[in-house]
Chains A and B, each alone.
Chain A
């Protein structure tokens, strides 16, 4: 097989470059024919671009680009960007989610005049995510975080004549602007005490930091953690999520809750592991592992309890997505200095994010399908839906049980490995809280299933169409969720190998 090492070094950024170029191609198409409503062309170009990026990322991952076997991580632009197994793994997550969202948007956006903007904004945000997973300096981390966030604000407010969408966009923007200023202030404090922005230099400067500066360093680290909490929708910056996901067009909710969350975790993993190594941080009295442990428990508990009280399916999914952020935070909370289990824990979190990318995107796209039909948004409105659309409802059942972590689906293994790795690392209390919350989550996920299959419909709606794009995207997500059960072995192995390299 052709290895990436035989190509020039910059080609390691291939996936991000392909995404950026596709976004620009869409701008060109739009400027040639601004009034076009040709969904097939726009969605087609976007899907081809993201699949190409996904293919390149998967090829690099399989060929071992940036991994220990082929000469270690590839650093570019004076170490500001790094391509390694972890960045490629995350790029694969972002591009798969984006591809499903594009296929679904083909129907969702049909006949709207401003489609090209939608597709190019999603592509630019995906580019930002791919760069975010590769950033090796606080400067690139901040800029690619903004490249991810700015298009997302516009996308949430995309339905500009819909009050809910605009309100959601406003709230997302306000909290986002606040949290990015907190984030950049945190970076400035870390720069103040270390004099550098590169992760490795920050880590070594923190290692021989004067104890009198540790207060400033601590506040800086805390503020940076706040910035990530916003991006991943974790406590204490989670409250934008229900509003933004409920008000936004459903494909955008799918994109934000799966890809954007994974992007936040990608950069959080790298920043905390590489720039603020646990041993150094604990010496300085900045015990971020404990902080993330508490946040993980609070986030999953709050997300699941709030989800259980919702009447609106989309809002329930939003809170469930907060709950899942709590599970993934275990990846940062069950680490300990120099432990051999660190790679396992972090890898299990990454694998969960991959499975979550399929099942959660699928669930939101099902909501998109239901919105497309004009059926209401509450649990009661879903009554008897399975009689009319058994295929889509079967897929939704797969997503719901997988999100809850029931055995025959991908979500079971990813949660199982996550909790097992936490126990293996000696953090049994995290696993216990996770398992309790999963049990609670079964309650509200099964409410959807019960409404669709068992309840009688009141016969007030007619399903007029069978949108091909939405159906195809939902089926891909469902097949992905199912295939990830037998296919989970290679996934977890790859994830844990590339995560272990981060600690090396």
Chain B
């Protein structure tokens, strides 16, 4: 069996790639993709440690996470659509009627 720390390194790497994407990309859709990466990094952990611990709690949770990620994307795309209709752009830095 692959030692547990390799899974942790893999998931941490995926998480950091997602975080990097969030910090550097300005397009709202790319932002959503980066969030998906971060959620799936957690799924890697859940499934790997489900195997390590010999219970299915982690696998079940991974299913929940996937379903919720889908729901989150549905809401997100909806908001990005109205964003595009109002601002003619999906750049997250363009929407600045209020100051940060």
Binding site for B on A (CB under 8 A): 139, 142-143, 146, 150, 153-154, 157, 160-161, 163-164, 166-171, 173-174, 177-178, 180-182, 184-185, 187-189, 191-192, 195-197, 216, 239, 242-243, 246-247
Contact with A along B1-26 (1 / 0, CB 8 A): 00010001001000100100010000
Are A191's CB and B79's CB within 8 A? no
Residues of A within 8 A of B68 (CB): 142-143, 146
Q: Shortest distance in angstroms between A111's beta carbon and chain B's nearest beta carbon? A: 20
Most chain-B Cβ atoms within 10 A of its Cβ — which of A170, A174, A178? Answer: A170
Are B4's CB and A192's CB within 8 A? yes
Given A185-B15, A197-B61: A163 and B86 within 8 A (CB)? Answer: yes
Are B38's CB and A166's CB within 8 A? no
Are A168's CB and B15's CB within 8 A? no
Are A142's CB and B83's CB within 8 A? no
A-B contact pairs, 22 of them (CB 8 A): A154-B75, A154-B79, A157-B79, A163-B86, A166-B86, A168-B98, A169-B79, A173-B75, A173-B79, A177-B31, A177-B32, A178-B22, A178-B38, A184-B42, A185-B15, A185-B38, A185-B42, A188-B58, A191-B57, A192-B49, A195-B52, A195-B57
Contact with A along B74-100 (1 / 0, CB 8 A): 011011101101110000100111101
Given A150-B72, A161-B86, A197-B61: A181 and B79 within 8 A (CB)? Answer: no
Given A166-B86, A188-B45, A196-B57: A177 and B98 within 8 A (CB)? Answer: no
Q: Considering the complex, which residues of chain B in the window 17-53 have a beta carbon less than 8 Å from any beta carbon of chain A?
A: 18, 22, 28, 31-32, 35, 38-39, 41-43, 45-46, 48-49, 52-53
Given A143-B68, A154-B75, A177-B76: A239 and B100 within 8 A (CB)? Answer: yes
Residues of A within 8 A of B79 (CB): 153-154, 157, 166, 169-170, 173
Residues of B within 8 A of A161 (CB): 86
Residues of A within 8 A of B41 (CB): 185, 188
Q: Shortest distance in angstroms between A290's beta carbon and chain B's nearest beta carbon? A: 26
Given A146-B68, A195-B49: A163 and B97 within 8 A (CB)? Answer: yes
| Closest A residue by C-beta to B41 | A185
Are A181's CB and B39's CB within 8 A? yes
**A294 vs B7: C-alpha distance in the bound complex, in angstroms?**
33
Q: Shortest distance in angstroms between A179's beta carbon and chain B's nearest beta carbon? A: 10
Residues of A within 8 A of B61 (CB): 139, 142, 187-188, 191, 197
Are B55's CB and A184's CB within 8 A? no
Q: Is the interface of B mostly helix, strand, loop or mixed?
A: helix
Are A166's CB and B4's CB within 8 A? no
Residues of A within 8 A of B48 (CB): 192
Are A191's CB and B45's CB within 8 A? yes
Are A167's CB and B98's CB within 8 A? yes
Most chain-A Cβ atoms within 10 A of its Cβ — which of B41, B48, B76? Answer: B76
Binding site for A on B (CB under 8 A): 4, 8, 11, 15, 18, 22, 28, 31-32, 35, 38-39, 41-43, 45-46, 48-49, 52-53, 55, 57-58, 60-61, 64-65, 68, 71-72, 75-76, 78-80, 82-83, 85-87, 92, 95-98, 100
Are B71's CB and A150's CB within 8 A? yes
Most chain-A Cβ atoms within 10 A of its Cβ — which of B42, B57, B58, B80? Answer: B42
**A195 vs B8: C-alpha distance in the bound complex, in angstroms?**
14
**A139 vs B62: C-alpha distance in the bound complex, in angstroms?**
10
Residues of A within 8 A of B96 (CB): 167
Residues of A within 8 A of B64 (CB): 139, 142-143
Residues of A within 8 A of B8 (CB): 192, 216
Could you say which of B11, B85, B97 contacts A167, with CB atoms under 8 Å apart?
Answer: B97
**A81 vs B35: C-alpha distance in the bound complex, in angstroms?**
28
Could you say which of B60, B65, B71, B95 contacts A184, with CB atoms under 8 Å apart?
Answer: B65
Could you say which of B43, B46, B75, B86 contacts A153, with CB atoms under 8 Å apart?
Answer: B75
> In the complex, given contacts A139-B61, A177-B35, A185-B11, what are 14 additional A-B residue pairs having Cβ atoms less than 8 angstroms apart?
A142-B65, A146-B72, A153-B76, A157-B78, A160-B85, A170-B79, A181-B39, A188-B11, A188-B58, A191-B58, A192-B48, A196-B57, A216-B8, A246-B98
Given A160-B82, A188-B11, A192-B49: A181 and B35 within 8 A (CB)? Answer: yes
**A184 vs B18: C-alpha distance in the bound complex, in angstroms?**
14
Residues of A within 8 A of B76 (CB): 153, 173, 177
**A164 vs B48: C-alpha distance in the bound complex, in angstroms?**
43
Residues of B within 8 A of A139 (CB): 57, 60-61, 64
Are A181's CB and B38's CB within 8 A? yes
Given A157-B79, A169-B79, A170-B95: A191 and B39 within 8 A (CB)? Answer: no
Q: Shortest distance in angstroms between A311's beta carbon and chain B's nearest beta carbon? A: 11
**A161 vs B68: C-alpha distance in the bound complex, in angstroms?**
27
Closest CB pairs A-B (n = 6): A188-B45, A195-B53, A181-B38, A188-B42, A167-B95, A185-B42
